Structure 1
Amino acid sequence: MSEYQYYEFRAIDSALTANQRKYLSSLSSRARVTSHLASYVFNYSDFHGDTEKLMAEYFDAMVYIANWGSRCLMFRLPPAQTAFSMEAIDADTIEPPVPDGLNDLSSAQQALGKYLEIDEAMILVAAQKNGTQPKKVTLEKWIDKLPVPEQRDYLIRLSRGESNLSLLLNKRIQELSSLKSQPQHNGENTDRRTISALIEASKVWYE
């Protein structure tokens, strides 16, 4: 069986400069480089670039796959979102809040689950609690709650074609709405299961 390795990098927040594209092209004669993407295929050699450095300086996401089973998915997060503490996960760890839509995954989300080798039964079991989650906050309900100067700022940035502005606006709306519903968080863990309970439930799913 011949060797196959595939690397794909994506620049989402901003386009690559001409100098950056030139450097990325120099990393391999088989490179495919555009203003927002760089991909590399190898059948008999290895990638000579530094993936972590490229992620830190050029890209927002990377996927790697090899025909012997190795795979890697990386994202670059804003500094404010990387300052979190990693807690050990054991059998008694309480499951996180169930995200909206877990019981109705898109084809792309299902493909991602398979790529990451997430047990389908675990997703199905976790999604059983999906019906208890509050509905998503609608933008129309909260947009008028934003201060007028902030509304104007978003419009100006929209007119300039700022990337991912809709994501930032929706995040701001979520923050605004959560401030109005703080009391609802009391006792939020009372109906959540442990990791061991999820594992046992997923085993039953296959029986």
Structure 2
Amino acid sequence: MSEYQYYEFLAIDRPLDDAEQATIRSLSTRATISATSFVNEYDWGDFKGDPRDLMERYYDAHLYVANWGSHRVMFRLPGGSLELDVVEDYCVGVGVSAWETGEFIVLDFTSEDDDEDFDYDSESLLSAIVGVRAELAAGDLRPLYLAWLAAYGAWERDEDAFDREADDDLEPPVPPGLGTLTAAQRALADFLRLDDDLLAVASEASPPLDADNPDDLAAWVIDLPAAEKDTLLARVMLGEGVRVRMELLHRYRGDTAPADPRPARRTVANLLDATAGRRTVGERRVARRHAEAGERAHSVAHE
């Protein structure tokens, strides 16, 4: 099988200027580069740049795939929109990592499976996933939990992925709404190879997600200081509308989040064992339906 690698970067909050694009061009002569994106495919050789460095300096999202089973997606968010100590609860090995750089926080999610067939369109992947960046910045922690769950889910495919002591690792806080993922979150889960049965088991401890109430939003905005609202409006007029929206939603949800008691945290072993049990029940149900269908077909054939 020939080698194949795909690299894509997106600049979302601020386009790259001519000098920055020239710097990126020096790393790859064959890439398609614009003020907002970098795309290149490699059938031989390798990219000379460091994705981590490019994310810290220029880009807000990055996706990488290789036909030997490597999947990686990274997001850079304004530091005030997501606290590192919150993210660290969801970090696990090489599967989920995060760090601060200047005024930003960078998230790095990876998945490995060298047994998977490579049969998808790389160019459509990041556009389907990138919406989780805005969701995270607005205070939605479901993407972080999905990445954490997918990292431990790899243990079902690779028995050497973790040491036995990881059985007792506790899950991080379970965000609401795991049973009703957004389209971007579903795409992220698929990209990270999150098993549907494992997600279903994890979702049992996730309460429903309450939609933002327009009246409550309006009342919260009214109570903001007038000078602050003037500053925010000016930022919107200067082109920061998306960032302002993310910041305000993050603050609003933090201020209005209900103080519900958190469910007991499950261990990794609890989650994986319950998943195996759910899968067995499902397989038996399917086998029983097939057997019943065969019996009906046999009965009809002998009438």
- If the length of structure 1 is used for normalisation, what is the TM-score? 0.83
How many residues align? The count is 200
**Which of residues 225, 244, 247 in structure 2 aligns to 1:168?**
247
In the alignment, does 2:191 pair up with 1:104?
A: no
**Structure 1 residue 29: deviation in Å?**
2.5
Letter in 2 for 1:142: W
**Structure 1 residue 92: deviation in Å?**
3.8
Runs of 4+ deviating beyond 6 Å: none
**Structure 1 residue 48: deviation in Å?**
0.8
**Structure 1 residue 107: deviation in Å?**
3.6
CA separation in 2, counterparts of 1:69 and 1:134?
33
In the alignment, does 2:33 pair up with 1:3?
A: no
Aligned partner of residue 76 in structure 1, secondary structure: strand
In the alignment, is the contact (CA less than 8 A) between 1:65 and 1:71 conserved in 2?
A: yes
Higher RCO structure, 1 or 2 (CA under 8 Å, sep 6+): 1
Any unmatched runs of 5+ in structure 1? none
Letter in 2 for 1:205: R
CA separation in 2, counterparts of 1:91 and 1:18?
51
**Which of residues 192, 195, 213 in structure 2 aligns to 1:116?**
192
The structure number with the bigger radius of gyration is 2
Letter in 2 for 1:10: L
In the alignment, is the contact (CA less than 8 A) between 1:100 and 1:136 conserved in 2?
A: no
Match for residue 128 of structure 1? 204
CA RMSD across the alignment:
2.5
Aligned partner of residue 69 in structure 2, secondary structure: coil
In the alignment, does 2:17 pair up with 1:17?
A: yes
Compared with structure 1, are the counterparts of its residues 92 and 148 closer, same or farther at alpha carbon in structure 2 (3 Å cutoff)? farther
- If the length of structure 2 is used for normalisation, what is the TM-score? 0.59
CA separation in 2, counterparts of 1:27 and 1:78?
26
**Which of residues 137, 146, 168 in structure 1 aligns to 2:224?**
146
> Any idea what the Cα deviations from partners look like across 1:125-183, whole Å, max 9, x if unmatched?
111233x35624432342222222222221111121114221011112123325xx5xx
Match for residue 159 of structure 1? 237
Q: Which has the higher helix share?
A: 2
**Which of residues 274, 278, 282 in structure 2 aligns to 1:201?**
274
CA separation in 2, counterparts of 1:189 and 1:128?
13
Bigger Cα displacement from structure 2, 79-88 vs 194-203: 79-88
Compared with structure 1, are the counterparts of its residues 129 and 141 closer, same or farther at alpha carbon in structure 2 (3 Å cutoff)? farther
**Structure 1 residue 75: deviation in Å?**
2.3
**Structure 1 residue 191: deviation in Å?**
4.0
